[in-house]
Chain A
Amino acid sequence: MTTTYEDIPDVYQRLPEVKSRDDRSLREKLHSMWETTPGIRGWLSTVDHKEIGLRYLVTAFIFLIAGGIEALVMRIQLAGPNAHVLTPEQYNQLFTMHGSTMIIWYAFPVLSGFSNYLWPLIFGSRDMAFPRLNAFSYWVFAASGIFLYTSFAVGAAPDAGWFNYVPYASKPYNPGINIDFYCLANIFMGISTTAGAINFIVTTLRTRCPGMSVNRWPIITWGTLSANAAAIFAMPVVSLAFFFLWMDRTFGTHFFLPSGGNLTGHPLLWQHLFWMWGHPWVYMIVLPAQGIVSDGLPTFCRRPLVGYTAVVLATVATMILGFGVWVHHMFATGLPTMAMSFFSAATIIITIPSAVQVFSWIATIWTGRPVFTTAFLYFASFIFLFVIGGVSGFMTGVVPVDWQLTDTYFVVAHLHYVLIGINFFGVMGGLYYWFPKFTGRMLDETIGKINFWLTFVGFNVGFFTMHITGLLGMPRRVYTYPAGIGFETPNLITTIGAFILALGILAFIVNVAYSLRRGAIAGNNPWDAPTLEWSVSSPPPPYNFAVIPSVASRHPLWEARLQEGDGESVLDRGPILDDHHETMGVSPMDGEPDVILKMPGESYMPFVVTLCISALFAGLLAHIWTLAGVGAAVGVIGTIVWLWPRLEAGERMVAES
């Protein structure tokens, strides 16, 4: 039996009562209804997107620090020629863990943290579309990271690079369990990314406030939506590749090895599958950060973003084109010239949508009145660093030039300008921007300026120099280098720069510790910013909005001053939705109110199922098949308990009607 729109019970379509948002009894009722249970029980069972968002941010930042420490140890080894601080094997484990940690366990989750915390607030909603799935994706992220780092504890961290090329990563050349850790941890993390992606997509399309039509979404939601829509297509490819490799290593299948008799595999299959995911992933970890800049920069320039529509189209176009450039990682593998020509053109053309964003930000500065806060400095420097990372990417898109540049330090410089310049600098700006919303206190501006200048100077000293190291011909992924061919000075400068950058991050941590206690009280809207998250208290109440707002423009808090939009946004009165956990469901494009959604409450099941999956992966790793079987079976039972229809939520009524 299919459920049609007419079958939806009245409880979802009742005309809700309208009240003022200042109604004290309403606020108290909602508070007790939405508040996370205190103590360890609430800690394990909460589904509050704000709690989960902060956990994402803090956990991702811990991975940033772990990956950063790995980098600093490598920089000590590389500070001089022929050094013996690390053995080759230790170095290989460190650079593999550094890459995996930063790219997979820091760069994407940190953006998911922002999106988790902010989306319901930006969209005028009370939670993500699937709150329990949200909790689950966090637990899996944390558990998979712990799983990965267990490899250090047993002295067998992955050592074939984050790109993990076979046959070096295959059993004959890499017999330890290092690469099994790598394969399984990545599949494990893929579960989190996929669950999160589904949640973000449905949240965008469904749980917004009335009037939040497609042309009014802040750019960060476009960036995150594009990234997560891409994840739905990209993650299965690479998860399958990790699984194939694990099969090759565990059961002797021949997906990637060329020596399988009639059923022979091919090492390049790995590279195709890896980069088919890997390059879209690069855009996935920068587009939401670019969204942070597109939303944050205008606030400090005192004007709306220039060219909203162009930037939205550029964001989506980048993500789509991003699926057509992966072969530029493989120009030196002997592919036909015709194929390389296509991917080279795509790589060069993808510069255009990026240029749209850059010129939009420049225009926003030139036609606005910038105020030099720390957040603004991060956003403005982001533009500059984006251009450096962009042009070096354009250079490597030119095939014959790439044959020289690839696998040298030039590419190391390029990718760090992408990952630090276009992810980390956006994240730092975003943290300075939204910290008051997260905590109710401002980050200190004086420490902030020190923090900014240390990171900006340290980063550029260290990593701009790497371009030169690359042009001098230093190959990547070498644990040491000889003296006398010009590599000593640039490497020493890079090491010094890396430590200055690390000091800058330390200054940020000091600032957070100081400002959590001593920071100025923020108030609802300390930056006089335009979007809905700034209309509620800082930090927001557990239910976000006492009454569901309705918006009539892209900038609800600026519209009166800008004479923008048709009609007027209404934030102080609205539907109260106080029959258990409820929020508004709207039509995907126009944001017309459609249905009242019943939202689930706290549950231990996301945590329990994560424990079961951890047991499953531990069993697969150690070849304890009983443990894997028990983990899988209990996990299935846990999922059934999680999804069991509950009378109070009315699902059964749908089924019976």
Chain B
Amino acid sequence: MALAAAASGMTAAPAAAQETASHGLSFMTGFGPSNYGVVTLLYAVLIISLAVIAIIGALVLSGMLIRRAGGAATSLETVPLERSSSGLAFIYIGIAISFVILTGVLVWNYVVLAEVSAAPKDIAARIHVIGHQWWWEVRYEGEPAQTFTTADEIHVPVGKPVRIELTSSDVIHSFWVPALGGKMDTIPGQQNHTWLQADKPGIYRGQCTEFCGAQHAHMGLIVVADAPEHFAAWRAHQLEGPLTPHAESEVAKAAQGQSVFMHNCAVCHTVRGTLANGKVGPDLSHLMQRRTIAAGTLPNTVGNLSGWISNPQHIKPGNLMPTLRLSAADLNSLRDFLKTLQ
């Protein structure tokens, strides 16, 4: 629901202009070399499997109908026993054919495994994704001046591989962007890695696939693939501090809202360039640049943001964000402040 709307509507996302397609959770089409070979092999084993089901089904059914004994069904004594044929030929032929097919698939399996399991050398970005109950922390690694943190939304340049490093801050999660490749778990006490590459611009939906508790169902993410120059611009923008409001009246409202934020939100959330540096929840610098909130659950509109802040437990029951019970005035000014986080 949310992501489809986020991908098509794009009201809150200035970078939306270039984007075209959005891709759901199906993995039957590959959109990058991290997935091409996998999808071909998937189709191959799927077709083999369907053929086997059809052949065996036909053998069982035709055998039943052709060889069916006449007479009343339940009086078995009337049907004489027989042992005219040993029937072993069925086993010999069946096993011989199965063995050849299985061996072929096994070799193909190893070829694709070698192809997709090692990340290419010349990566365009090294991205550290940290699983949290129930959202994704995303850190672009590199020189200290080039490092920044965002959440639930990964931007990549089209046509270039990126390396994804995976850890967890709490329980096991699994990182999965189906159109771009297979899953890899985030496991506390261990660093895993995977890679992906999108050959076409677009929004690729992802999802946690290891059961991780109450809101496992609402732990989505998106990968936004842009032309390299747009990606570079996005990256440069993320490295800046949050933009400041322009109009005088906005300044006053935002200052009011910033104070509300500092009292209520800063323990858990970071906004770079302010004193807010909580580490429990998602980093909110440049919040308004993101397409979704609550880990891919809702499109990032001002209305949804207000609804989420007023009652996060209604949208994701059991999630770790407390209900703040802000006054209407405080909620309004907080919203005005968040709107400045461009």
Contacts and interface: CB of A to CB of B under 8 A. Distances in A.
A368 B60 CA distance: 12
B224 interface: no
B174 A407 contact: yes
B27 A337 contact: no
Interface of B: 1-5, 24-28, 37-38, 41-42, 45-46, 48-49, 52-53, 56-57, 59-60, 63-64, 66-69, 73-74, 76-77, 79-91, 93-95, 98-99, 102, 105-106, 109-110, 112-114, 116-117, 133, 166, 170-172, 174, 176, 178, 181-185, 187-190, 192-193, 205, 207-217, 317-318
A165 B4 contact: no
A485 B24 contact: yes
A364 B59 CA distance: 12
A384 B57 contact: yes
A475 B170 contact: no
Interface stretch (A264-272, A496-504, A539-547, A592-600): A264-272
A316 interface: no
Which of A337, A370, A405, A481 has the largest number of chain B CB atoms within 10 A? A370
Question: Closest 4 interchain pairs by CB?
Answer: A403-B182, A473-B25, A258-B189, A363-B87
27 contacts: A168-B172, A173-B133, A303-B82, A304-B83, A306-B87, A310-B88, A310-B91, A340-B113, A348-B102, A348-B109, A355-B94, A359-B90, A366-B59, A366-B66, A367-B67, A367-B85, A369-B67, A369-B68, A370-B69, A383-B60, A391-B49, A394-B49, A399-B109, A403-B183, A404-B42, A472-B26, A475-B208
A344 B215 CA distance: 32
B26 A407 contact: no
Given A372-B64, A387-B56, A475-B209, 9 more contacts: A303-B81, A344-B109, A362-B90, A365-B64, A367-B84, A380-B64, A391-B49, A485-B24, A485-B25
A62 interface: no
B102 A349 contact: yes
Contacts of B60: 362, 365, 380, 383-384
A363 B214 contact: no
A167 interface: yes
A380 B25 CA distance: 36
Nearest to B1: A482
A259 B188 CA distance: 9
A340 B87 CA distance: 38
Which of B90, B94, B114 has the largest number of chain A CB atoms within 10 A? B90
A405 to B, nearest CB: 8
Interface residue tally of chain A, by bracket?
35 or more
Which of A332, A372, A486, A562 has the largest number of chain B CB atoms within 10 A? A332
A395 B46 contact: yes
A352 B99 contact: yes
B184 A371 contact: no
A268 B190 contact: yes
B221 to A, nearest CB: 13
Nearest to A266: B189
A302 B69 CA distance: 9
Contacts of B67: 301, 365-370
A445 B86 contact: no
A306 B68 CA distance: 17
B53 A388 contact: yes
A528 B77 CA distance: 6
Given A267-B188, A407-B174, A471-B26, A168 B211 contact: yes
Contacts of B64: 365, 370, 372, 380
A356 B81 contact: no
A484 B2 CA distance: 9
Contact of B110 (A341, A384, A478): A341
A407 B182 contact: no
A32 B79 CA distance: 40
Contact of A334 (B37, B116, B185, B213): B185
Given A348-B106, A472-B26, A332 B182 contact: yes
A161 interface: yes
Interface of A: 81-82, 87-89, 92, 160-161, 165, 167-168, 173, 258-259, 264, 266-268, 299-304, 306-307, 310, 332-334, 337, 340-341, 344-345, 348-349, 351-352, 355-356, 358-360, 362-373, 380, 383-384, 387-388, 391-392, 394-395, 398-408, 442, 445, 471-486, 527-528, 558, 561-562
Contacts of B170: 167, 173
A240 B106 CA distance: 35
B69 A398 contact: no
A363 B217 contact: no
Contacts of B212: 168
A399 B110 CA distance: 8
Given A334-B185, A400-B112, A561-B81, A395 B49 contact: yes
Contacts of B74: 371, 373, 442, 445
A404 B38 contact: yes
Which of A165, A372, A404 has the largest number of chain B CB atoms within 10 A? A404
Contacts of A340: 113
A627 B234 CA distance: 64
A447 B162 CA distance: 61
Given A307-B91, A345-B106, A355-B95, A369 B85 contact: no
Contact of B211 (A161, A351, A360, A399): A161
Nearest to A360: B91
A42 B146 CA distance: 79
Given A334-B187, A358-B94, A473-B25, A369 B82 contact: yes
B211 A160 contact: yes
Contacts of B208: 475
Contact of A369 (B69, B89, B98): B69
B321 to A, nearest CB: 15
B334 to A, nearest CB: 27
A332 B63 contact: no
A341 B106 CA distance: 9
B209 A408 contact: yes
Which of B91, B112, B190 has the largest number of chain A CB atoms within 10 A? B91
Contacts of A367: 67, 82, 84-87
B261 to A, nearest CB: 29
Contact of A337 (B26, B38, B117): B117
A473 B184 contact: no
A406 B53 contact: no
Contacts of B192: 333-334
Contacts of A407: 174, 176, 183, 209-210
Contact of A362 (B37, B46, B63, B117): B63
A484 B90 CA distance: 48
B309 to A, nearest CB: 21
Which of A266, A480, A484 has the largest number of chain B CB atoms within 10 A? A484
Contacts of B193: 334
B56 A165 contact: no
B38 A373 contact: no
A368 B171 contact: no
B77 A473 contact: no
B79 A369 contact: yes
Nearest to A472: B26
A391 B94 contact: no
Contacts of A400: 37-38, 41, 109, 112-113, 116-117, 182
Which of B42, B48, B93 has the largest number of chain A CB atoms within 10 A? B42
A484 B24 CA distance: 10
Nearest to A96: B211
A287 B88 CA distance: 21
Contacts of A406: 183, 209
Contacts of B176: 407, 475
A323 B81 CA distance: 39
A352 B102 contact: yes
Contacts of A304: 83
A304 B85 CA distance: 11
Contacts of A345: 106
A370 B25 contact: no
Contacts of A408: 209
Nearest to B76: A528
